[in-house]
Structure 1
Amino acid sequence: MNYFKLRTLVIILILVMLSFLFTYIYINGNYFRLPTEIEIMKQSPGALPLKVFNQHSHRIVNNISSLGDKKQFQIGNQEQDSNTSEKYEENHLKDIPNEKDIPIINNAQNVHNQENLLKQQQVLKQQQQQQLNTFQQEKQEHIYKQQVETGEQQHLVGLNVPINKGNTATKTIIGETVANGPPKPVAPQPCNRLWVKGKSKWFDERFNGAISSVWTRDNIRQSPDVTNWWLKLQGSKNKDVVGVMESAFKMIPDVDVYKDRSTCRRCAVVGNSGNLRGSKYGSHIDAHDMVIRMNEAPVTNFEEDVGYRETHRLMYPESFFNIKPDVHFVLVSFKTLDVEWLVSAMTTGTIKRTWRPVKNLIKVNASLVQIYNPALMKQAHEVWNLKHGRYPSTGLLAIMFALHACDEVDVYGYGANKIGNWDHYWQNDGGRGNSAFRKTGVHNSDVEKEIYTKLNSEGIITLHMGNAHK
């Protein structure tokens, strides 16, 4: 074999080997190019094309530091439980990759890009649970809105407020029952603001919206007729009302926090009547923005009928009841000594008796303590009660407090029980007893009953009579 033929054979062999080598690299090596979008889709079913990821990756990074647009930072492969949620997710999550949607780049020349993608993947993993929870909540809210629009929600009889999510008890309102099980959310109704004139001529003639429900710096100096009337209620010895209030305002708020009417404030006033037994009002009461209770009425062991929430409790020194630190203590004072007791009970504990022994030290949140406005007390006595009795009961004062602090008012636990007696829901006498409320003559229970019954018939409050209605 001559030299020319040998060289030709070697060249051919080299070319064949190079051909096989390039063919192998092209098929299996994938070293010289990025995978095409089609190949990515084939290798990772459901994965997004790289250009789609690059177009939206900045949204992920932005949403890591700011959750302003939570819908764009969700995991988009959750199971759907309704057509509504499917449409919601399709519209809000279709362009956002999850952790398995990040394409893997094997090209060594793109290590920097791969590192960035892996960092984003790690962040997604860390945030997944939190964002999944947020997504589920938003999905439920979206479903709820759809139900409201299509009229599929179940309205509660006699209430204009939504029920808290998760309540499961059977619910009875004025003798009518709502089905067992978790209630569907109820769309908030337009605010029926009781203080807007024109709804009731009878109410408009008596209601004075300029009177604050609490004693503040603005009304620290009451008019002489109010001051003189208040000082005589229980024989105040200290006549320096302003000085006593100045001492109190060094410790408690001195402003009216109820002047803001930017939102609808729906309130429940919970009385102590035995007609609450078996009422199943608990979850309805707890659904309100404010839950006002009074004196020593217990909550524990009676939650199904009276609820467990409370935001305000009206008490005078002799009826003080331990409350939670997040509850407003509204002092109903009938004399300057009551205000002095408040200051003492929050500090030194020197006052141990008013007209009877009282707690000398109390634990309350000073920032939530308020004092009932004596001007409102006098108006309740003279304008509403027409001077019957010596002064209004705490029950009537609680309703008046709500009328001046709230936009809508539901009243529970007032009046007699189903056999006509005036007892308390925590008493175990079968409802046969009558409280001192009707015996002392300090308050006129019959006149007060006419007031809140009339308020109900005029559409100002909604009165719920519990077992007395059965």
Structure 2
Amino acid sequence: MALKRRLLWAMGSVVCLLVVYMLCLNTQGRSSSWYLLSVKTWPVRTVSPSNDALLRWSDLVQDDLTPTLLDLAAAEQTAALKTRPVTSPAKPAQDQIKNNSLSRSEGVDRTTRAPLTKPGPTEPPYIGDFYMSENVPPQTNCPDGIRSRIKESEFGQRFLEHIPVLQWAQHVTQEQHQRLKRYPGTHGWGGVDFDTLMDTLTVLNSSANWRMLDDWESRKNKSECSRCAVVGNGGILKGSKKGKEIDGHHYVFRTNGAVINGFEEDVGSRTTHYTFSTNTLMNSMRSYGGVGYNGPPTTTETRYVFLPDHDRDYLLMKAASTHTLVARGPERGKDPTRYFGKDVSAAKLKMYHPDFIRYLRNRFLRSNILNGRYRSIYRPSTGAAMLLAALHTCDQVSAYGFMTPDYSKYSDHYYDKSYHKVGFFANHDMRMEMTVWQKLHKAGLMTLYMRNKTDHS
């Protein structure tokens, strides 16, 4: 009898254990089902507060937008890689963006790796009207800067607040190279191999490289708004006596064959930002040496802003930042300190982002040339890129030496020894640019210098 009781007790224990085990499995199954449901309904699209409907890059390249557990793990790993500091040691605090929405435990990812605005359904592929977006806090506390006023103007629908103006180390990825290599010249990375991009852009790894006004904190002198003078080389400046007014701005932008010596009374003497491409720099040195142009200004406050349209720009940039000779190409063996001075460093170098230049072409300077035989070489002029970049980075802009409707009254350049008719070339639409300057002036977004009866002749 005792044996029988022990057997019954043992069997009852086994049954109880089996019941408990089954209950545990059932509970775990329900928990797993809830978790998978949560994963399947995880949002994969983000909606921008702007009207341009930001889309994640994955939205454009993946057919199935429902993430799996592996997708989420890969995304976490990718995010960690993208937020890893570019250089070691980590950048100082003032070089980092204080943006809670982009903060990560391993660092700060300043960029949203997402082109914005899908191209129109009928647009040819070379237009590429979609761009990278960045969330960059404003540098100033200006209450009525250009960026706040342009949204209410006729340019409001064209303007993209978060497009990167300058490219730097965090922009060069295989993903972005695949996207941008389809666009040639200034509008993309077509013809520039990934290794060349890496060698150059990894040198541009501090806030000085992605901020146009990188020394604003030391220069503002209690000002709330940054004031920029953008100086073209037009003949309208000859006899203008605008030099002192130009130099009175916080920043002074110049480009290409900007001859200063002997013309200070009309054009000023300061240069904080000098915009050029390697091609226009070499052409300027050949063409304007006879009137005093021997190369870019080399003052301590001058920054050099490359407008890249070929790999030679990236090669010259790398050589300048490392104080080495240019490795290859048309400038092979040349010493960049010949152009930028012996004190040049990576902190003084900047480079326009190809998305920004393509955006200017597509939205501000959409010329009929794009419908003709010269569409592959058309781009904004170097002066136009410089002026529109200032409008995207400064709070107040005054433009001098740009074309006005009475341009035929003036020589091509202010330093011409005799009158030269203004020249027009197939790769620019100067008359269209002139019309845009008039509209920006009329909208109160910039002040354009125009001659009147009281000006000196």
* TM bucket normalised to smaller: 0.5 to 0.7
Q: Which residue of 2 aligns with 1:201?
A: 153
Measured in 2, the distance between the counterparts of 1:272 and 1:370 equals 22
Of 297, 322, 333, which aligns to 1:323?
A: 297
TM-score, normalisation: structure 2: 0.54
Query: What code does the residue aligned with 2:382 have?
Result: T
1:213 equivalent in alignment to 2:194: no
Kindly provide the CA deviation profile for residues 56-94 of structure 1, in whole angstroms up to 9, marking residues without a partner as x.
xxxxxxxxxxxxxxxxxxxxxxxxxxxxxxxxxxxxxxx
Q: Equivalences for 1:46-445 in 2 at 5 Å?
A: 192-197=144-149, 200-221=152-173, 222=176, 225-230=179-184, 237-240=191-194, 242-249=197-204, 253-256=208-211, 258=213, 263-320=224-281, 321-324=295-298, 325-346=300-321, 347-351=323-327, 353-354=329-330, 360-362=335-337, 363-364=340-341, 365-366=344-345, 367-389=347-369, 390-415=378-403, 419-420=408-409, 423-430=412-419, 432-435=420-423, 438=424, 440-445=425-430
CA distance in 2, matches of 1:233, 1:384: 14
Query: CA 1:383–1:319 in structure 2 vs 1: closer, same or farther (change >3 Å)?
Result: same
Tell me if structure 2 keeps the 8 A contact 1:385–1:447: yes
Partner of 1:448: 433
Measure how far apart 1:429 and its partner are. 1.3
After superposition, the C-alpha distances for 1:124-143 in whole angstroms (9 at most, x for unaligned) are xxxxxxxxxxxxxxxxxxxx
Over aligned residue pairs, what C-alpha RMSD do you find?
Answer: 3.2
What amino acid does structure 2 have at the position aligned with 1:229? Y
CA offset digits 1:27-84 (Å, max 9, x no partner): xxxxxxxxxxxxxxxxxxxxxxxxxxxxxxxxxxxxxxxxxxxxxxxxxxxxxxxxxx
Shift of 1:206: 1.3
Letter in 2 for 1:382: N
Q: Which amino acid aligns with 1:405?
A: T
Distance 1:203 1:468 in 2: 31
CA contact (8 A) 1:271 1:413 kept: yes
- Residues 291, 272 of structure 1: alpha-carbon distance in 2 compared, 3 angstrom cutoff: same
CA contact (8 A) 2:228 2:251 kept: yes
CA contact (8 A) 2:153 2:443 kept: no
CA distance in 2, matches of 1:357, 1:434: 33
Q: Tell me how far apart the structure 2 counterparts of residues 198 and 250 of structure 1 sit (CA, whole Å).
A: 30
> In 2, Cα distance between the equivalents of 1:333 and 1:263?
32
User: Which residue in 2 is equivalent to 1:90?
Assistant: none
User: CA 1:408 to 1:198, structure 2 compared with 1: closer, same or farther past 3 Å?
Assistant: closer
What code does the residue aligned with 2:198 have? Answer: G
Give the whole-Å Cα distance in 2 for the aligned partners of 1:381 and 1:412: 22
Which residue pairs with 2:36 in the alignment? none
Among all aligned residue pairs of Structure 1 and Structure 2, give the percentage whose two residues are the same amino acid.
Answer: 25
Instruction: Provide Cα deviations, 1:426-469, integer angstroms capped at 9, x if missing partner.
Output: 11113x4333xx1x201011111111111111111110024799
Deviations 1:355-377 (A, max 9, x none): x8995422342121111121110
Indicate conservation of the 8 Å contact 1:388/1:443, yes or no: no
Q: Please tell me whether the aligned partners of residues 318 and 358 of structure 1 are also in contact (alpha carbons under 8 angstroms).
A: no
CA contact (8 A) 1:230 1:374 kept: no
How far apart are the structure 1 equivalents of 2:453 and 2:426?
Answer: 24
Q: Residue 214 of structure 1 aligns to which amino acid in structure 2?
A: L
- 1:124-166 residue CA offsets vs partner (Å, 9 max, x unmatched): xxxxxxxxxxxxxxxxxxxxxxxxxxxxxxxxxxxxxxxxxxx
Letter in 1 for 2:336: L
Q: Is the 8 A contact 2:186 2:307 kept in 1?
A: no
Which is higher, the Rg of structure 1 or of structure 2? 1
Count of aligned pairs = 276
TM-score by length of 1: 0.52
TM superposition shift of 1:248 = 3.4
1:404 positional shift: 1.4
Secondary structure of 2:431's aligned partner: helix
Letter in 2 for 1:396: A
Gaps in structure 1 of 5+ consecutive residues: 1-189
Q: 1:215 to 1:235 in 2, by over 3 A?
A: closer
Contact 1:293 1:313 in 2 (8 A): yes
* Matching residue's letter, 1:202: E
Find the aligned partners of 2:392 and 2:441 in 1 and give their Cα distance: 16
| Residues 198, 447 of structure 1: alpha-carbon distance in 2 compared, 3 angstrom cutoff | closer
Other structure's SS at 1:196 match? helix
Tell me which moved more, 213-222 or 291-300: 213-222
Q: Distance in 2 between matches of 1:199 and 1:236?
A: 32
- Post-superposition CA distance 1:362-397 (Å, at most 9, x none): 234212111112111011111111145511101110
Letter in 1 for 2:159: F
How much does 1:243 deviate?
1.6
Q: Secondary structure at the match of 1:402?
A: helix
Task: For residues 302-339 of structure 1, give each alpha carbon's deviation from its aligned partner in whole angstroms, at most 9, with x where no partner exists.
Answer: 01110111111101113332322320011111123311
Contact 1:276 1:412 in 2 (8 A): yes
